[in-house]
Structure 1
Amino acid sequence: MITTEPNMTNLFLQLGLEAGENDIRDFILQHQLPAEIKVTAAAFWSEGQRHFLAESLKSDNDWAIVVDELNEALHSDASAQATQA
């Protein structure tokens, strides 16, 4: 059971990623996803990371909100292109 506060920093720590403000920003900038790729299907996740993200979304717990925020951030380029079209 995860008892840490659900926020972006703790999500990155939970995923085993660097979690400094610049690290999170850089990760998001470097891992933009096309609109048709779900966050849980991204090729850059390990199986453990993918499982955590999928379970968080499926259980609709407090982590689901943060995972959804990450999803939106990873799709920000695709969303911007869609609104320009």
Structure 2
Amino acid sequence: MNKVRPRMTHLFEQLGLDASEQGIAKFIEEHQLHKDFNLMDAPYWSDAQRQFLAEKIASDGEWAIVVDQLNESLHEDATRDAQASL
């Protein structure tokens, strides 16, 4: 059996979001989070999206890695700002 590893495009498809390269980049750019803000607490997730993300993080499998990548991407501005202030 050929198992496909989850990717960011798969995650966006599962979340019902635009999974094109441009759609993912736009979402990440427009939804940056403060460094202290938890991904799961972001106001733009629906209950179903929040539940999906929580399940994937809890699974600690390949999906958790992709969700973590999304989390890091959504905190890029905060990370960059923190590094600039050093």
**TM range, smaller chain:** over 0.9
Aligned-partner residue type, residue 31 of structure 1: H
* Segments ≥4 residues shifted beyond 2 Å: none
Deviations 1:6-59 (A, max 9, x none): 100000000000100000000000000001111111000000100111111111
Identity value in percent = 51
Query: Structure 2-normalised TM-score?
Result: 0.92
Q: Which residue of 2 aligns with 1:20?
A: 20
Quick check: which has more Rg, 1 or 2?
Answer: 2
Q: Distance in 2 between matches of 1:51 and 1:32?
A: 20
Structure 2: runs of 5 or more not aligned: none
TM-score by length of 1: 0.93
The answer (yes or no) to whether the contact 1:4–1:10 under 8 Å persists in 2 is no
Structure 1: gaps of 5 or more residues: none
Provide the residue aligned with 2:11 in structure 1.
Answer: 11
What is the CA RMSD across the aligned residues, in angstroms? 1.2
Count of aligned pairs = 83
